[in-house]
Amino acid sequence: MNVAELLVKCLEQEGVDYVFGVPGEENIDLMDAFYDSDIEFIVTRHETSAAFMAATYGRLTGTPGVCLATLGPGATNLMTGVANANMDHAPLVAITGQAGLDRQHKTSHQYYDLINMYEPVTKWNAQIKSAKITPEVVRKAFQVAGQEKWGATHIDLPEDIAGIDIEETTPLKPNERPHTEAVANILEQAVSMIEKAEHPLILAGNGISRQQATDEFRTFVKKAHIPVVHSFMGKGAISWKNDLSLLTAGIGGNDYITCGFNEADLIITVGFDIAEYPPKNWNRSNTPIIHIDTEEAETDANYPVTFNILGDIQANLQQLSKGIRSTKRDITWVSNVRKQALDELGSFQKDTHFPVKPQKIISDLRNVLDEEAIAISDVGAHKMWMARMYHTYHPNTCLISNGLASMGVAVPSAIAAKMVHPDRNVVAVCGDGSFQMTGAELETAKRLEVPIIVLMWRDNGYGLIEWHQLKKFDRASYITFGNPDYRQLAASYGFEVMTITKAEELKPALEKAATSDQPVFIDCPVDYSENMQLTEKLGDIIC
């Protein structure tokens, strides 16, 4: 047995089913070891895509996804996806091949010090410099990646170490993670504060689904009778059909949801990380905060924490629910806010304008997809519309990257999501700018026989940047580009292609795609003049 084979055995011990990546010269020992393993190596068309896939796999399964690249450009390509996973708190273990120890002391072909490069974008990383430490390094990488808050770790394997023969060695077994609860007197004081508040408001974050605390959260919300605002990454903590749901905040400006924050005399954040939505955008009055999470709150001038309720979110919500008395507050204002927001979406159901308006695209998408379907938004102007108006029933049914927020995330992530949930529809919602960054993964989807749906909003430019330019300068610069014939491009990858030529075609196209057993690409021209109209509308909203 050599070190590469031992490392693969350690991955098997961790329960790894897939490794996503691109082979290279310096990781050929690992590639050969995978050949005899039950682990399936998924060849991707770019290393960044491999990390996006591994992160989504980790987020949806709760166990770290694994990605692999070689040294040099392979490792630097991988880094963007690793950083994205780390800021989104998705559990991921990245493995890189590396130059041999005998040439790391000098300038050498494709050699960079990956330990120092990866240090700021991971929770922990290490190089295997000795064969015998391999089991410890792998075990720690998985342990740290899966600890709260989830994130990315990195293992660097020099090629000369990978090929060293070693005596039969047993991988280390995973251990149970400890569960902690907040102390009783903190919980009691928090309950008292919640009961005294006249207009409390809950901000639901990504940690609720990460900690599998949805049921406990919904029980708490029902008993305390407190309205809930979702961050982009917390969507679905309660169903959008629930009368206490104030839908999603985060687009900025004076949106309907901002009125809820202005009304609040206490804000309870649950599983929330300030990278999801900067407090200065929603807590302008410095309303006191009860912070319920696995870690202490980040220091921020607009995030004045009265109580940190730390530890297992499930357990702490259970204790709060036991302690709080069922109450009914006057929340008629919630109904008013909900009605305005939902009426806005409903008013576009029969809109016939072409190119298609963003609200119409989202209305049709929501009407076609069932409760369990997964929509994954890429980064761009469409992300802001999806976050604001695509309403969800359950957590992890609308995935939005909002930490690093890297473009190109949707198509690779959709492939991984469909691998985890083959019985659900999975839709990658892309702009034409973000799609071209990882669009080659259409080949990966077809090769793996993964029938995803790609819904591309085409505007021939970087729409989100244009939106910001117009708001600040009243003119746009350097945001336009050309596009290929997407019908030919997607068809060449083996996708069924539908091109939308009028608004009335979109819903039937989505319905057909949702019942297809083949991957489908929908090319939908979008009218982004709605962006500035939304900006003007938000400016006119009075709370």
Average pLDDT of every residue of the chain: 93
* Structure letter (DSSP) for residue 464: H
pLDDT in tens, 14-58: 999 999 999 999 899 999 999 999 999 999 999 999 999 999 999
Using left for φ > 0, alpha for ψ between -120 and 50, and beta otherwise, residue 388 falls in alpha
Is the pTM above the cut of 0.75? yes
Calculate mean pLDDT across residues 167-189: 87
Confidence of residue 355 (pLDDT cuts 50, 70, 90): very high
Predicted confidence at residue 63, as pLDDT, reads 96
Per the structure block, which two tokens stand in for 171? 């991988």
Question: Does pLDDT of 292 surpass 80?
Answer: yes
Predicted confidence at residue 102, as pLDDT, reads 81
Confidence of residue 496 (pLDDT cuts 50, 70, 90): very high
- % the chain with pLDDT above 90: 79
pLDDT in tens, 210-252: 999 999 999 999 999 999 999 999 999 999 999 999 999 876 6
Predicted confidence at residue 42, as pLDDT, reads 98
Would you list the DSSP string of 44-103?
-SSHHHHHHHHHHHHHHHSS-EEEEE-STHHHHHHHHHHHHHHHTT--EEEEEEE--GGG
Would you list the DSSP string of 19-30?
EEE---GGGHHH
Predicted confidence at residue 253, as pLDDT, reads 59
Q: Is 361 exposed, middle or buried (0-12, 13-18, 19+ CB in 10 A)?
A: buried
Indicate the residue type of 44: T
* Structure letter (DSSP) for residue 2: B
Question: Does pLDDT of 512 surpass 90?
Answer: yes
pLDDT in tens, 78-131: 999 999 999 999 999 999 999 888 887 877 877 889 999 999 999 999 999 999
Predicted confidence at residue 343, as pLDDT, reads 86
Cβ(1)–Cβ(169) below 8 Å: yes
User: H helices within 120-213, ranges in order?
Assistant: 134-146, 159-162, 184-196, 207-210
Predicted confidence at residue 101, as pLDDT, reads 82
Confidence of residue 136 (pLDDT cuts 50, 70, 90): very high
Q: Please indicate whether residue 123 or residue 180 has the higher confidence score (pLDDT).
A: 123
Question: Does pLDDT of 539 surpass 60?
Answer: no
Confidence of residue 254 (pLDDT cuts 50, 70, 90): low
pLDDT in tens, 310-352: 999 999 999 999 999 877 777 887 888 888 888 888 888 899 9
Predicted confidence at residue 538, as pLDDT, reads 65
Cβ(18)–Cβ(50) below 8 Å: no
Domains assigned to the chain: 3-162 (3.40.50.970), 184-336 (3.40.50.1220), 347-540 (3.40.50.970)
Calculate mean pLDDT across residues 272-285: 88
Predicted confidence at residue 252, as pLDDT, reads 63
Predicted confidence at residue 540, as pLDDT, reads 56
Hunting for tokens 């329960």 — which residue is that? 15
* Structure letter (DSSP) for residue 480: B
